[in-house]
Structure 1
Amino acid sequence: MDKKLLDILVCPVSKAPVEWNKESNELFCRASGLAYPIRDGIPVMLEAEARELTPAERERK
């Protein structure tokens, strides 16, 4: 994931910054509790495409 892109992307629900999870290839937003998929290198920042984070994922740093 490109660092410059990560610096400007925010969650469309909470407007909070997102974090890249390399293992799951998703962008996490702890504020909204959503994870957005990355498909073919493109973040899919749609609430309808996001999944809810588990309690453990919300706590993990």
Structure 2
Amino acid sequence: MTDPRPEPHHVVDKRALEMLVCPLTKTRLTLSADRSELISVAARLAFPIVKGVPLLSLEEARNVDPDEIRKHSGGAP
């Protein structure tokens, strides 16, 4: 039987996430529902989390469409 929990070194510490900001706008980041990305609502960018490490490089970021941004910003346009 396989253990469904992620390996401890692949889990991002929530306290550390609270200290991280978007490298472009310096605004707070939101953890995606599947915990695989940090979303910058202000910049409309998603930064991947790889093996528990957030990659906060603009080269690694992907653009986020407006509908997805609304989900992360509580419905605000």
TM over 0.5: yes
Aligned partner of 1:12 in structure 2 is 23
Q: Identity percentage over the alignment?
A: 36
Q: Which structure shows the bigger proportion of residues in strand conformation?
A: 1
Q: How many residues align?
A: 61
Aligned partner of 2:8 in structure 1 is none
Query: Given the alignment, which residue of 29, 33, 55 partners 1:22?
Result: 33
Give the structure-2-normalised TM-score. 0.74
Q: Which has the larger radius of gyration?
A: 2
Q: Deviations over 1:5-61 (max 9, x none)?
A: 111000000000001113261000000000000011100000011000111111013
Give the structure-1-normalised TM-score. 0.91
> RMSD in angstroms over aligned alpha carbons?
1.2
Runs of 4 or more above 4 Å deviation: none
Structure 2 unaligned regions, length at least 5: 1-11
Structure 1 unaligned regions, length at least 5: none
